[in-house]
């Protein structure tokens, strides 16, 4: 998939977080009894969610489109198709449907967060912050860590590293297993020259997600700078074991040779 503006890891992480959140939306949205017309649209919606989480985005778009054609007044359908368009890198259509979802349900925090994610990809930092704050305005929003993460990511890209660190810490406190918050906190601490705290953040990433190669590599680099050659070598060996043949593994091998 073509990725614009921000790196592939960022977009994949953002999309994965939104998809996981979206599964929860399906569970809560489908409990009540539906009218006959909405029941038909809900069938298409459910199928679309299955396709979306299987990353079959074209089929997801087809099902969500049919759901909207039958029942265009349902905000969750517009949010869903917006997320599918975002996954296809069709940001203009994604934004249009997110905005429609918000127009139908002004306190739809998930749609605001999805809209903020699109603004981040397009480097529209202030708009991302505004949309995320709108999401946080709903006290019943169940995953506020996503909104705080978006705000922190915007501040990071604006060069406001202290504020970014505060935001990532908040996101991590709200969800102690939210890997992107800890990883980006590590990046931010590096910018602030707070090496010990960056090391701690990357170690936390690894403890939650042992296969996160980039976190291992970042940790190894910091250990080299700190003069901890033995620990750095161990970490670099983990990189090679986890992702042999990768660019990180190649660099790790070179550093191991230099550390001998």
How far apart, in whole angstroms, are the C-alpha atoms of residue 162 and residue 189?
Answer: 9
- Three-state DSSP state, 1: coil
How far apart, in whole angstroms, are the C-alpha atoms of residue 203 and residue 186?
Answer: 9
pTM of structure: 0.85
Backbone angles phi, psi at 24, to 5 degrees: -65, -40
Comparing CA positions, the residue from 74, 75, 73, 78 lying closest to residue 61 is 78
Per-residue pLDDT at 184: 98
∠ CA 81-22-33 to the nearest 5 degrees? 85
- Chain center to CA of 26: 19
36-53 and 8-29 are packed helices; what angle lies between their axes, rounded to 10 degrees? Answer: 150
Per-residue pLDDT at 38: 78
User: pLDDT (tens digit, 9 = 90+) per residue, 171-211?
Assistant: 999 999 999 999 999 999 999 999 999 999 999 999 999 99
Domains and CATH numbers, the chain: 1-124 (1.25.40.10)
How far apart, in whole angstroms, are the C-alpha atoms of residue 172 and residue 94?
Answer: 28
Comparing CA positions, the residue from 259, 26, 130, 192 lying closest to residue 235 is 259
DSSP secondary-structure letter at 50?
Answer: H
- Residue 255 near residue 220, CB atoms below 8 Å: yes
- Residue 53 near residue 23, CB atoms below 8 Å: yes
- Three-state DSSP state, 55: coil
Tokens describing residue 193: 């020259």
User: pLDDT (tens digit, 9 = 90+) per residue, 26-47?
Assistant: 434 444 455 677 788 999 999 9
How far apart, in whole angstroms, are the C-alpha atoms of residue 118 and residue 124?
Answer: 9
The pLDDT averaged over each successive group of 10 residues in the chain (260 residues) is 39 56 46 66 93 93 96 95 94 97 97 96 97 97 96 98 99 97 98 98 98 97 96 97 96 93
């Amino acid at each position: 998939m073509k990725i614009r503006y921000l790196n592939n890891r960022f977009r994949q992480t953002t999309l994965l977080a939104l998809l996981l959140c979206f599964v929860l939306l399906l569970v809560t949205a489908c409990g009540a009894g539906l009218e006959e017309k909405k029941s038909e649209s809900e069938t298409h919606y459910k199928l679309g969610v299955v396709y979306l989480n299987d990353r079959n985005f074209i089929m997801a778009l087809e099902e969500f489109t049919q759901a909207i054609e039958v029942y265009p007044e349902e905000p969750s359908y517009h949010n869903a198709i917006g997320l599918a368009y975002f996954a296809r890198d069709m940001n203009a259509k994604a934004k249009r449907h997110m905005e429609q979802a918000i127009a139908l349900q002004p306190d739809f925090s998930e749609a605001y967060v999805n809209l903020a994610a699109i603004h981040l990809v397009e480097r529209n930092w202030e708009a991302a912050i505004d949309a995320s704050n709108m999401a946080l305005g709903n006290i019943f929003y169940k995953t506020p860590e996503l909104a705080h993460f978006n705000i922190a990511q915007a501040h990071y890209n604006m060069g406001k590293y202290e504020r970014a660190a505060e935001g990532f810490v908040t996101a991590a406190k709200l969800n102690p297993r939210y890997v992107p918050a800890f990883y980006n906190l590590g990046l931010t601490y590096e910018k602030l020259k707070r090496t010990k705290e960056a090391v701690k953040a990357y170690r936390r990433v690894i403890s939650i997600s042992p296969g996160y190669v980039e976190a291992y590599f970042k940790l190894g680099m910091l250990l080299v700078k700190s003069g901890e050659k033995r620990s750095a070598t161990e970490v670099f060996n983990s990189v090679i074991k986890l992702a042999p043949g990768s660019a990180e593994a190649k660099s790790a091998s070179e550093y191991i040779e230099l550390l001998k």
